């Protein structure tokens, strides 16, 4: 058996990117994945109607590496604007309401940007008192950040970069990540419980035994790190603390199949209600398919997870009935839903820094003794919450591990 030089823990976007980069460097690397599939929080249910259960949009698409990777894999990029960029498809508001709403958001964002240069605080403190759009702004925060505005760090939020261009992969984001993983030495169903870095070699305890390597790249979620499901020996309390400052927020999806597609416009969207934080966002006929993609975030999503798909379906039906009447509900059939907070290998969707903990991203990203490296969306300085942020940190960690090996 050849010596394993680098072990990568996790075969999500970061782990796959790290594994691919190490292979390009000629490093003998193994990727260990606890799940029975590749992709992590990028997961596509293939079939007649490919459905992205995790990440679905190529944010900052024109500079997003996954765009080029998808094309290299022969996949199709759909450049249709998302519903939030097209007034005529925002069905729950009149054009006048949308103009007022977007002006309110612009003013709010300006206040957030100014406040972020002063001191950290909750984004909710920058909402205009009594503004009728406040609840919807906070609801949108649950979709984008996984947390409500009262839990959102303005410093962390302001550091996020988005070019404003959002595309999709017709065959699925998860399909793209899985395709990029082909040819790598990925061992599925092998969870890691302990990393012993006390000696010259790093000893890794897995569900299938023990492995050794010279360097390791950790890409598991911050919630798993903070709960110490993976134990370091000697301990790394500063890493556990950093992960604890970057908990995963929650965003879940539910998909309905539409019996009569013309009941709904292509690429249209409604909010369940405009005056409550705990509401859903409903995207009609994405890609022109006979599907409704329902989106729930934050505490609302967390509460519904307790009742599983039945609770999600009931909630969505009630909100949709308020817009389209009860007759149309007879022609909606639930397909599948997610409960990411209950996923034992994620425990959430994407990271949101606690107020006062925006610098935890850099603290978690810092390598330990040039042997233990960290990657994943949570350690990205500007692209957190995204698959391309995960990819970039995976590549960076692989480059650093390779350089450290050569130096040693």
User: 155-186 pLDDT, tens per residue?
Assistant: 999 999 999 999 999 999 999 999 999 999 99
Mean pLDDT over 14-33 rounds to 98
Is pLDDT above 80 for 377? yes
CA distance 258 to 399: 47
pLDDT value, residue 47: 81
Is pLDDT above 60 for 66? yes
Strand boundaries in 170-280, DSSP class E: 186-188, 192-196, 202-206, 209-213, 215-218, 231-233, 248-249, 251-258, 268-271
Give pLDDT tens digits for 26-58: 999 999 999 999 999 999 998 889 999 999 999
CB-count exposure of residue 119 (10 Å: 0-12, 13-18, 19+): exposed
Quick count: other Cβ atoms within 10 Å of Cβ 201? 15
Give pLDDT tens digits for 72-84: 999 999 999 888 7
| 52 dihedral zone (left: phi>0; alpha: psi -120 to 50; beta) | beta
Give pLDDT tens digits for 215-240: 999 999 999 999 999 999 999 999 99
Mean pLDDT over 100-106 rounds to 94
CA angle, 385 then 75 then 248, to 5°: 15
Task: Report the percentage of the chain scoring pLDDT > 70.
Answer: 98
pLDDT band at 8 (very low <50, low <70, confident <90, very high): very high
**Residue written as tokens 């990411």?**
340
Mean pLDDT over 258-278 rounds to 91
pLDDT band at 89 (very low <50, low <70, confident <90, very high): low
pLDDT value, residue 88: 54
Strand boundaries in 260-329, DSSP class E: 268-271, 281-284, 291-297
Average pLDDT, the chain: 95
Instruction: Check if the beta carbon of residue 157 is closer than 8 Å to that of residue 145.
Output: yes
Q: Nearest to residue 2, comparing CAs of 25, 26, 19, 32?
A: 26
CA distance 219 to 225: 10
What does the block give as tokens for 114?
């100014």
Cis peptide before 234 (omega within 30 of 0): yes
Is pLDDT above 50 for 1? no
Is pLDDT above 70 for 133? yes
Report CA-CA distances (Å) from 226 to 117, 142, 251, 376. Answer: 28, 22, 20, 14
CATH no., domain 6-75+169-247+353-407: 3.50.50.60
């Amino acid at each position: 058996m050849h010596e394993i030089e680098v072990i990568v823990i996790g075969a999500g976007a970061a782990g796959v990117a790290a594994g691919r980069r190490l292979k390009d460097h000629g490093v003998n690397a193994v990727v260990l994945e606890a799940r029975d599939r590749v992709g992590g929080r990028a997961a596509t249910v293939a079939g007649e109607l490919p459905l992205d259960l995790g990440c679905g949009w190529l944010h900052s698409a024109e500079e997003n590496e996954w765009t080029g990777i998808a094309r290299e894999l022969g996949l199709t990029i759909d450049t249709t604007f998302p519903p939030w960029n097209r007034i005529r498809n925002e069905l729950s508001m009149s054009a006048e309401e949308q103009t007022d709403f977007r002006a309110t958001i612009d003013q709010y964002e300006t206040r957030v940007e100014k406040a972020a240069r002063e001191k950290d605080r909750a984004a909710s403190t920058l909402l205009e008192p009594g503004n009728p759009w406040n609840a919807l702004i906070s609801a949108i925060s649950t979709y984008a950040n996984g947390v409500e505005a009262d839990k959102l760090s303005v410093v962390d939020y302001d550091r996020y970069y988005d070019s404003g261009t959002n595309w999709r992969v017709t065959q699925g984001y998860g399909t793209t990540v899985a395709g990029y993983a082909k040819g790598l030495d990925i061992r599925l169903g092998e969870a890691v419980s302990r990393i012993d870095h006390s000696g010259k070699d790093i000893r890794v305890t897995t569900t299938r035994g023990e492995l050794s390597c010279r360097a390791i790249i950790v890409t598991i979620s911050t919630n798993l790190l903070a709960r110490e499901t993976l134990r370091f020996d000697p301990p790394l309390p500063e890493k556990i603390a950093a992960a604890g400052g970057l908990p995963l927020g929650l965003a879940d999806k539910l998909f309905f199949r539409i019996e009569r597609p013309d009941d709904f416009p292509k690429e249209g969207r409604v909010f369940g209600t405009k005056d409550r934080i705990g509401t859903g966002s409903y995207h009609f006929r994405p890609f022109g398919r006979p599907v409704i993609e329902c989106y729930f975030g934050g505490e609302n999503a967390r509460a519904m997870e307790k009742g599983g798909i039945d609770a999600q379906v009931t909630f969505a039906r009630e909100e949709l009935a308020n817009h389209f009447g009860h007759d149309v509900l007879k022609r909606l059939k639930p397909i599948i839903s997610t409960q990411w907070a209950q996923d034992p290998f994620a425990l959430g969707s994407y990271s949101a820094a606690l107020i006062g903990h925006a610098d935890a991203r850099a603290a978690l990203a810092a390598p330990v003794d040039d042997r233990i490296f960290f990657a994943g969306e949570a350690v990205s300085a500007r692209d957190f919450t995204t698959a391309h942020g995960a990819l970039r940190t995976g590549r960076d960690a692989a480059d650093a591990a390779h350089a450290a090996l050569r130096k040693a």
